[in-house]
Structures are given as structure tokens and as C-alpha cells.
Copies of this chain bind each other. A is one copy, B any other.
Amino acid sequence: MSKKTVISMAVIRRLPKYYRYLGELLRNDIERISSKELSERIGFTASQIRQDLNNFGDFGQQGYGYNVRALRDEIGKILGLNKEYKTVIVGAGNIGQAVANYTNFEKLGFHLIGIFDRNPKLIGMGIRDIEVQDVDNLESFLKNNPADIGIICVPKEQAQRIADAFVKSGIKGIWNFAPTDIAVPEDVIVENVHLSESLLTLSYRLNESELFKEKIGR
């Protein structure tokens, strides 16, 4: 939280969406696009798009638009997709299995090297080519097989303990699916997926018009 970021989180969170849309354009053999057309597809304004991309350099040419492939490759590099990452998942329940089975992550360069759980019914089970190991082996496994990203898919009560084990092993990136916030040193990055918060945002928005009708009617 206190770490200064050079680019605002709002811009950063839009980059993966650009990356996804540009990939779809390429799959449809569209090699060139104006910021106006891109804007119509992606739903951000053309000036927003120009501003966002200007943060990272000088893409696009006046009167030509963007070269889709070059822009996608460049955004890929910005997103760190020119590298490979080793990942481990702790928690082989539904969420852990969903993440493990999401083959698109492999294509993006995120390679799963280990899955751990404490449930004897899950230990030994194969998910893709990987056998679920006892979570008691986590620390020794990470000592011998350093990972870049640790993925937490355990209940909230166990999340901090797993995060501590990740940090101890030198992992600098944690993807946290447990419905709680975890404490880590300043140089470790945590990205949360809090499903309840997403659902409550939806229920807020479903009730918003009504809510303000009441307030105004007071």
C-alpha cells in the first residue's frame, strides 16, 4: 500500500484488457487500428487510450493508427510476458483446481510446478501432470524448486501462514484468493481476488438507483 507506483493502478489494470483485445484483433487478422476504432471495441474513450499508452512510450502514428501486433507485443513486454514464471498453488479445492486447470496461464508464461494441500483425500491426486503434495512439504519443496509466484487458495484462517512460508522462500509475488488481507514485507507484491467483494459490488449496483431515490425522497 505504501509502495510508490510510477503508473497509477487504474492505468495498470486496463493494460491486460488492451492486451486481450489486441490479441482478439490479431486472431481476426486485423493488423492496424485507429484509436477511435479501438475505443469503440474496448469501451474506453480514444483520448483515454492515447493517454494510457503514452505512459509507456510513443506508440501509434498520426494518420496511421496503431500497428496491432507491435502494440500487443509492447504491452506484453510491459506486462512482463516476455518472461517465464514458476508458480505454486497451495489449496487444491475448487478454486485451486480451477486455477491449475486454466491452461491459458501456461500460454502466457506462467508454469505451475507444484500444488499442495493438507487434506489426505486430495494429496496424491493428479491435476494436469502434477501430483498434489502434502502442505508440510511446501517449505522444503520451495527450497529446492524456487518459485516466482505463490498462489493462495486456502481458507482465510490459513492464508497468513502460507503467505509467510512463501515470503520465507523468497517468493516476491502472491496471488491471494483467500477472503482476507495478508501482511507481507514491502518488497512483496500481493494481488487479491476477493470474490465476495465482487459480488457485493454487484448487489450494490443492483440497488443503487433505488438507494438514491430513497435518499432524495427523505
Q: Interface-forming stretch among A61-69, A160-168, A189-197?
A: A189-197
Whether B196 lies near A173 (C-beta < 8 A) is no
- Per-position contact with B for A48-74: 1 when CB-CB < 8 Å, else 0? 000000000100000000000000000
Q: List B contacts of A126 (CB < 8 A).
A: none
Q: List B contacts of A204 (CB < 8 A).
A: 12, 15, 78-80
Which of B5, B43, B110 is within 8 Å of A208, CB to CB?
A: B5
Q: Does A20 contact B (CB under 8 A)?
A: yes
- Per-position contact with B for A92-112: 1 when CB-CB < 8 Å, else 0? 011101110110110010100
Complex Cα spacing A15 to B13, Å:
19
Whether A189 lies near B173 (C-beta < 8 A) is no
CB-based nearest B residue for A218: B57
- Per-position contact with B for A174-206: 1 when CB-CB < 8 Å, else 0? 010001010000000101011111111111111
Q: List B contacts of A175 (CB < 8 A).
A: 198-199, 202
Complex Cα spacing A98 to B89, Å:
16
Contact A208:B6 (CB < 8 A) given known A1-B43, A20-B197, A199-B110 = yes
Complex Cα spacing A211 to B181, Å:
27
Copies in the complex: 2
- Least CB distance from A79 to B in Å reads 5
Task: For the complex of A and B, list the 9 residue pairs with the smallest distance between their C-beta atoms, beginning with the closest.
Answer: A94-B98, A80-B207, A16-B197, A16-B200, A191-B202, A80-B203, A189-B205, A95-B98, A94-B97
> Can you pick out 10 interface pairs between chain A and chain B where the beta carbons lie within 8 Å of each other?
A16-B196, A16-B197, A57-B215, A83-B203, A94-B97, A98-B98, A105-B196, A175-B202, A191-B201, A191-B202
What is A's interface to B at a CB cutoff of 8 Å? 1, 5-7, 12-13, 15-17, 19-20, 43, 57, 78-81, 83, 85, 93-95, 97-99, 101-102, 104-105, 108, 110, 148-149, 172-173, 175, 179, 181, 189, 191, 193-208, 211-212, 215
